[in-house]
Amino acid sequence: MICQFCGIEFIEEIKNKECSMCILANNCKFVKCPNCGYEIPAQSKILKTIFNWRKNKNEVKRNR
């Protein structure tokens, strides 16, 4: 993932140390850049499900 603020690339799964201190961390939908702290919205579960469903549907079509 590339931070849109400072341009640094990082792995989405790397949890920022500050996040554990945040009171809103449990339900947080943002990925925090470990360099500058900028928050990038992670894709919502609903959207992910829709996109994966569409992707699978297209793949099935292609395989046919």
Partner 1 sequence: MRDERLIEKIEMTGTKESTTKKIILVGQPNVGKSVIFNALTGNYVNVSNYPGTTVEVAKGKMKTGGEEFEIIDTPGMYSLLPITEEERVTRSILFKDKPSIVLHVIDAKNLNRMLGVTLQLLEANLPVVLVINIVDEAERVGLKINGEKLQEKLGIPVIQTVATERRNIDPLKLIIKQYKPMRMHHNVETNSNNLPQYKEEIEEAIDKLKLIVNHKTEISQRALALLILQKDEEIISQYEEDNNKNTITNIIKDLSEKISQSLPYLISLERQKKTSELCEGVLTEKKTAIHQMKEKLGNIMIGPITGIPFLLLVVFLLYEFVGVFGAQTLVDFLENDIFGKYINPAVTSFVNNIIPWPVIQDLFVNDYGIITLGIRYAVAIILPIVATFFIAFSIIEDTGYLPRLALLVDKLFKRIGLNGRAVIPIVLGFGCDTMAVMVTRTLETKRERIISTILLSLAIPCSAQMGVILALMAGSPMALLVWIVVMIFIFLLIGFLAAKVIPGEKPMFFMEIPPLRMPKLYNVFTKTYTRVEWYFKEILPLFILASIFIWLGKLTGLFDLVIKILEYPVQLLGLPKESAVAFLYGFFRRDFGAAGLYDLKSSGLLEGIPLVVAVTTLTLFMPCIAQLSMTIKERGLKTSLIMISFIFPFAFIVGYLLNVILIFLGVSL
- The residues of the shown chain that bind partner 1, judged by CB under 8 A, are 2, 4-11, 13-18, 21-24, 27-30, 34-39, 41-44, 46-47
Cα 27 from Cα 30, distance rounded (Å) = 9
Under 8 Å between Cβ of 11 and 22: no
Q: How far is the CB of 62 from partner 1 (least distance, A)?
A: 12
Under 8 Å between Cβ of 29 and 17: no
| Closest to partner 1 by CB, 42 or 57 | 42
For residue 19 the two structure tokens come to 């996040």
| Closest to partner 1 by CB, 21 or 56 | 21
Q: How far is the CB of 9 from partner 1 (least distance, A)?
A: 6
